[in-house]
Amino acid sequence: MNIIKVKDYEEMSQKACSLLLDVVENERKPVLGLATGSTPEGLYRNLIEKYEQHEVTFEDTTTFNLDEYVGLAKDDPNSYRYFMNEKLFKHINIQDENTHVPSGVAEDPKQECKDYEQLIQEADRIDIQILGLGLNGHIGFNEPGTSFSSRTHVVELDESTRNANARFFDSIDDVPTQAITMGIETIMESKSIILLVSGANKAEPLARLVHGEVSEDFPASILQTHGNVTIIADEAARTKIDL
């Protein structure tokens, strides 16, 4: 794993933006894997800025998001589809039909997972996948214990994950109990992966990811076995790693 050391959140976001733009500029039909949460917001702000400065076009870009809450519709401000529309898609020239987020309100969530997986397979590959890091080592919404050979599936969210994400909702009771997430094997098939890590609360999980054993108890540890992973970590997140 390649680790890029940056000073702070803003530098992490800029660095991630330039790596992503390399792909968008050099692939004929770029396929991006995108994430939600607080961590990639700065990256999206940087991408919008580059677009507004006419430095990039997204007209041939396709995107696949990692996950979505079950039960939240696309116009629910806490849905990840809403997040992506507001934080990125509506500000750039990407075509609506080329942006993919699993539906949280599909009548049959299991079928939705199959259809989503199928779409990813049809796109052939994800050129670059952006990941954040959950405090318990989750990637996407793949909680501890998820099989490394999982494909897109429905998950029960850990109480700790619901608590960590409760800050976005009125109360913990409003946080959905289930989500649809790309599987670990699906994520691992991406040609390249960029993991963004910022802030002191991520220092412990980052250390376990880098130095710990590869185990389904800590899903992000699988990244040690991928041939093209870049971790961009700021100072606060790096206090417990030895590099």
Ligand X SMILES: N[C@@H]1[C@@H](O)[C@H](O)[C@@H](COP(=O)(O)O)O[C@@H]1O
Q: Which residues are catalytic?
A: 67, 136, 138, 143
Judged by CB, which is closer to ligand X: 13, or 36? 36
**Nearest distance from C-beta of residue 132 to ligand X, angstroms:** 2
**Nearest distance from C-beta of residue 167 to ligand X, angstroms:** 9
Show the beta-strand stretches assigned E in 124-241: 128-131, 153-156, 178-181, 192-197, 229-233
- Residue showing the smallest CB distance to ligand X in the complex: 132
**Is-contact 235 11, C-beta < 8 A?**
no
Judged by CB, which is closer to ligand X: 56, or 205? 205
**Nearest distance from C-beta of residue 53 to ligand X, angstroms:** 26
Judged by CB, which is closer to ligand X: 12, or 56? 12
Element (H, E) at 187: helix 184-188
Q: Report the interface residues with ligand X, using CB under 6 A.
A: 35-39, 66-67, 132, 134, 140-141, 161, 165
51-67 in b/e form (b: 16+ CB < 10 A) is beeeebebeebbbbbbb
Query: From CA 18, how far away is CA 216, in angstroms rounded?
Result: 32
110: its two tokens: 């299991």
